[in-house]
Structure 1
Amino acid sequence: MHLDHAVAQPHRHTHSAAPLRADGTRRALRIGLGGPVGSGKTATVAALCRALRTDLSMAVVTNDIYTREDAEFLLREAVLPPERITAVETGACPHTAIRDDISANLEAVEELEDAFREHAPLDLILVESGGDNLTATFSRGLVDAQIFVIDVAGGDDIPRKGGPGVTTADLLIVNKTDLAPHVGSDLGRMARDAAEQRGELPVAFQSLRGPEGVAPVADWVRRRIAAWTAR
């Protein structure tokens, strides 16, 4: 099939958001979490909130297509005070609101920052994408770093298949490792394939039911915060 007319492509925001506000103060570090439906993004966000909330002033923006389900889960779990959790209903494929037209998410992020600027300026904002596929990435105009979450139940061939989410995220989480023996996933194979696809970019193997839980990922976030504030 040949097209004899130009096809309009969505505008993608690839520039990085300025780290300083107009008044010269440093804004919060923004970290995006993406990954397929059911991979454990919201559970990871909840665990990170519990691990970091005593040390950091933080907030969360969730994305769902037509509901506030992820935000409501975080509210029920009381991982942060309600005023620190907000939701965006994308009304379309989740990647459009985190990569192509980021206006709704950017507005939510900026409103959270404004709400806490006077008394408890935010150190960290987590932006969780709605469930998407392996091509999902965040605009650098929205977040400063990206985490991509996959799980062993989705198949141990996911790292080998690659895709921008797997290959370019600042951190790849292989989640639900406790399920590997039950679903026939080879963690060693996943580690080798992830290393081949990602080079020196880090990979964290995680079970939120295990003793280590989210600790390695929380430590990675702390290092990003330290680097951000030192800039």
Structure 2
Amino acid sequence: MHLDHSHDGPAAVSADARRPDGSRRALRIGLGGPVGSGKTATVAALCRALRAELSLAVVTNDIYTREDAEFLLREAVLPPERITAVETGACPHTAIRDDISANLEAVEDLEDEVGPLDLILVESGGDNLTATFSKGLVDAQIFVIDVAGGDDIPRKGGPGVTTADLLVVNKTDLAPYVGSDLARMAADAKAQRAELPVVFQSLRSEPGVTDVAGWVRDRLAAWTA
């Protein structure tokens, strides 16, 4: 794990940081990353870690299904009314970066129907390394990769790896079985990201999602300060 909170900085305050009634809207954090990297599992773990202290909700994105939302519903990580799905009908990148209207409608509907909310997690569908969220949709972005995808992913870079507010290297427990060198991944991530934080995580062992949840709390504290 490589996480230095001294470099996180405050969450950027968006021009639409307040709702029409003048109240502060929820902090929106996007989670992107390749298919199978563990985005939905990370969202589920964050919900379990934060639901007792925060009012939160989730928006998932899939091309033609509600599979990720249905997984979260089966796991009962939040009440059903706090989980909604967007069927993008096309490349998920479009719905989080270009035409963000469906996602904006989803997050606004959640705030209207179950708010007030502290936090909304917006999970993208399966992405490649170029995936980024529109700043008009989210206030901060987490990009999730996993060691089974190859320990050269941080070195390959791409906007998701190099510019996300937090990079999560997931499934570290698999490293011995897939031949991934975690020290090499850490060094490559540092070279690509400079002072931007990186977390190495296994959801199958302690500390699990603790470090990512701490980062989210820090962003929320800056947002509400």
User: What range is the shorter-chain TM-score in?
Assistant: over 0.9
Structure 2 CA distance for aligned equivalents of residues 132 and 205 of structure 1: 20
Among 201, 216, 222, the alignment partner of 1:221 is 216
Please report how far the alpha carbon of residue 23 of structure 1 lies from its aligned counterpart in structure 2 after TM superposition: 2.2
The amino acid of 1:170's aligned partner reads D
Task: Tell me whether 1:140 sits opposite 2:145 in the alignment.
Answer: no
Structure 2 CA distance for aligned equivalents of residues 94 and 22 of structure 1: 28
Count of aligned residue pairs for this structure pair: 213
Task: Tell me whether 1:156 sits opposite 2:151 in the alignment.
Answer: yes
**2:205 is matched with which residue?**
210
CA deviation string 1:44-80 (max 9, x = no partner): 0000000000000000000000000000000000000
**2:67 is matched with which residue?**
69
1:21-32 mapped onto 2 (5 Å cutoff): 21-32=19-30
**1:199 is matched with which residue?**
194
SS where residue 134 of structure 2 aligns?
Answer: coil
**2:168 is matched with which residue?**
173
Q: Is the 8 A contact 1:96 1:102 kept in 2?
A: yes
Greater radius of gyration (CA): 1
Please report how far the alpha carbon of residue 22 of structure 1 lies from its aligned counterpart in structure 2 after TM superposition: 2.3
Structure 2 CA distance for aligned equivalents of residues 30 and 149 of structure 1: 17
Structure 2 CA distance for aligned equivalents of residues 17 and 56 of structure 1: 23
Q: Is the 8 A contact 1:65 1:93 kept in 2?
A: yes
Quickly say closer, same or farther: Cα 1:138–1:74, change in 2 above 3 A. same
Structure 2 CA distance for aligned equivalents of residues 56 and 39 of structure 1: 26
Task: Tell me whether 1:131 sits opposite 2:126 in the alignment.
Answer: yes
Among 110, 124, 134, the alignment partner of 2:108 is 110
Quickly say closer, same or farther: Cα 1:82–1:17, change in 2 above 3 A. farther
Structure 1 CA distance for aligned equivalents of residues 100 and 23 of structure 2: 23
- Compare relative contact order (CA 8 Å, sep 6+) and give the higher one, 1 or 2: 2
SS where residue 91 of structure 1 aligns?
Answer: coil
Identity %: 86
Structure 2 CA distance for aligned equivalents of residues 16 and 194 of structure 1: 28
Structure 2 CA distance for aligned equivalents of residues 83 and 43 of structure 1: 19
The amino acid of 1:210's aligned partner reads S
Structure 1 CA distance for aligned equivalents of residues 20 and 146 of structure 2: 40
**2:17 is matched with which residue?**
19
CA deviation string 1:148-189 (max 9, x = no partner): 000000000000000000000000000000000000000000
CA deviation string 1:110-154 (max 9, x = no partner): 00011123xxx1000000000010000000000000000000000
Structure 2 CA distance for aligned equivalents of residues 127 and 156 of structure 1: 26
Q: Is the 8 A contact 1:31 1:143 kept in 2?
A: yes
Unpaired stretches in structure 2, ≥5 consecutive residues: 1-12
Structure 2 CA distance for aligned equivalents of residues 138 and 218 of structure 1: 20
Structure 1 CA distance for aligned equivalents of residues 84 and 67 of structure 2: 11
SS where residue 216 of structure 2 aligns?
Answer: helix
Structure 2 CA distance for aligned equivalents of residues 17 and 135 of structure 1: 25
Moved over 2 A (4+): none
Task: Tell me whether 1:45 sits opposite 2:43 in the alignment.
Answer: yes
* CA RMSD in angstroms, aligned pairs only: 1.0
